Amino acid sequence: MINDFMIMILPVFVVFVSLGVFFLWVIKSKEPYEMNAEEGKEK
């Protein structure tokens, strides 16, 4: 039963969850290397 769930359902979740986590992490986190973070910003 656990194996059926892991084989048939869980893999699909892994893809969507990892994509979601990556997207949110990039969008929500503070800009890296703040020392020169202003460089490149549009005025």
Partner 1 sequence: MNDPIVVSRLLTFVTLGFHIIMATIGVGLPIYISIAEYVGIKKKDRNYIVMAQRWTRGYTILVAVGVVTGTIIGFQLSLLWPTFMQQAGHVISLPLFMETFAFFFEAIFLGIYLYTWNRFRNPYHHWLLSIPIVLGSSASAFFITTVNAFMNTPQGFDRENGAVANVQPLVAMFNPATPSKLSHVLTTAYLTGALILAAIAAYHLMRGKTAVYYKKGLHLAMKGALVFAIATVVNGDISGKFLAVYQPEKLAAAEWHFETEERAKLLIGGILDPDEQEVKFGIEIPFALSILAFNRPSAEVIGLNEFPEELWPPLYIHYFFNLMVFIGMFLAAVSFIYFICYYVRRLQPLNPWLLRMVVAGAPLAILSIESGWIMTEVGRQPWIIRGMLTVSDAATTAEHVWEMLLLFSGLYMALAILLPLILIRLFSKKNAEAELENQGVIL
In single-letter form, the type of residue at position 19 comes to: L
Q: Quote the CA–CA distance of 9 and 36 in Å, as a whole number.
A: 44
Number of residues that bind partner 1 (CB under 8 A): 30
Q: Which residues 20-39 are close enough to bind partner 1 by CB under 8 A? A: 21-23, 25-27, 29, 31-33, 36-37, 39
Q: CA 25, CA 27: separation in Å to the nearest integer?
A: 6
- Contact flag: residue 15 with partner 1 (CB under 8 A): yes
Whether residue 37 contacts residue 31, with contact meaning beta carbons closer than 8 Å, is answered with yes
Q: Which residues in this chain contact partner 1 in the complex, by CB under 8 A?
A: 2-3, 6-12, 14-15, 17-19, 21-23, 25-27, 29, 31-33, 36-37, 39-42
